[in-house]
Amino acid sequence: GNSVTQMEGPVTLSEEAFLTINCTYTATGYPSLFWYVQYPGEGLQLLLKATKADDKGSNKGFEATYRKETTSFHLEKGSVQVSDSAVYFCALTLSNSGGYQKVTFGIGTKLQVIP
């Protein structure tokens, strides 16, 4: 079956530090890859996505590149802010024959940024 692997954390960084959250996946077929972010007390919201190999998704200073050869989609940001403190979920999507998109989520990585 399909799966997404990411560390649970928490990852604690000082403001302006470089961030990497690793995400690797296994999938049958050619998935689209997503990073969702969940701020405290809120639902998940899309941060960025990539739909094919070598695509780079980017948003709010975050980037991730779809690496088919290493089945990875690592999230990076050059300089984190306190406001980036949240839980980050890596996810993949594949369609079944009925057109329904099944999303497989990782367990989520909690990021804490301290001033």
Partner 1 sequence: NAGVTQTPKFRVLKTGQSMTLLCAQDMNHEYMYWYRQDPGMGLRLIHYSVGEGTTAKGEVPDGYNVSRLKKQNFLLGLESAAPSQTSVYFCASSYYQKGPTSRETQYFGPGTRLLVL
Contact 66, 54 (CB under 8 A): yes
Contact 41, 99 (CB under 8 A): no
As measured in angstroms, the least distance from the Cβ of 22 to partner 1 is: 15
Q: Is 54 in the site for partner 1 (CB under 8 A)?
A: no
The count of other CB atoms within 10 Å of the CB of residue 110 is 16
Q: Is 41 in the site for partner 1 (CB under 8 A)?
A: yes
Q: Is 103 in the site for partner 1 (CB under 8 A)?
A: yes
Q: Is 93 in the site for partner 1 (CB under 8 A)?
A: yes
As measured in angstroms, the least distance from the Cβ of 102 to partner 1 is: 8
Nearer to partner 1 by Cβ, of 3 and 79: the residue is 3
From edge to edge, which strands make up the β-sheet containing 62-65?
19-21, 75-77, 62-65, 56-59
